[in-house]
């Protein structure tokens, strides 16, 4: 057996050492940037989700108004008249009582319109302030 003498490693040129150092620095900066974006999204994303509570209340209230409008129209077809109150829809099992409240906990506003009106009834939420006939009211959409 012949003893082989180990081959010494080749020296790395000075320019390659600088290039590796710069590449490592760029990799660390990218990692820090990705982590910063991730944590910013978590922190500010939670703030954004909390801040949209009002928008989700508006969307839920509008969806409730559309359901109530449909059930009131169904009642109208069966009884040849609009329901006198929203409670009539509950007592006739057209609606659950929980649907008579908007997203802010206020009761919905309903009234039967006179014959010949553009819509057979008026249905709206008083909105966040709870006061009817103010600019933040949410009316039922009519086609």
pTM for the complete prediction? 0.63
Mean pLDDT of the chain: 84
d(CA 75, CA 88): 9
3-state secondary structure of 142: coil
89 is a domain residue: yes
32 is a domain residue: no
Residues with Cβ within 8 Å of 119's Cβ and at least 6 positions away in sequence, in order, are 113, 142
Domain count, the chain: 1
8 is a domain residue: no
Domain that holds residue 105: 56-139
Higher-confidence residue of 3 and 57: namely: 57
The answer to whether residue 49 scores a pLDDT higher than 50 is no
d(CA 21, CA 9): 20
Please report the pLDDT score of residue 52 as a whole number.
Answer: 56
The answer to whether residue 92 scores a pLDDT higher than 90 is yes
CATH label of the domain that carries residue 74: 3.30.700.10
Please report the pLDDT score of residue 46 as a whole number.
Answer: 47
Is-contact 122 109, C-beta < 8 A?
yes
79 is a domain residue: yes
| Signed CA dihedral, 62, 73, 95, 100: sign only | positive
41 is a domain residue: no
């Amino acid at each position: 057996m012949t003893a082989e003498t180990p081959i010494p490693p080749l020296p790395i040129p000075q320019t390659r050492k600088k290039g590796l150092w710069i590449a490592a620095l760029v990799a660390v900066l990218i990692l820090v940037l990705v982590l910063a974006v991730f944590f910013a999204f978590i922190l500010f994303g939670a703030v954004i989700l909390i801040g949209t509570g009002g928008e989700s209340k508006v969307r839920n209230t509008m969806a409730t108004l559309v359901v109530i409008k449909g059930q009131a129209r169904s009642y109208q077809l069966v009884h040849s008249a609009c329901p006198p109150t929203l409670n009539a829809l509950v007592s006739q099992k057209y609606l659950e009582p929980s649907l008579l409240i908007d997203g802010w906990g206020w009761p919905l506003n309903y009234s039967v319109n006179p014959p010949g009106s553009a819509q057979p009834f008026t249905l709206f939420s008083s909105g966040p302030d709870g006061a009817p006939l103010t600019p933040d009211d949410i009316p039922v959409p009519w086609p």
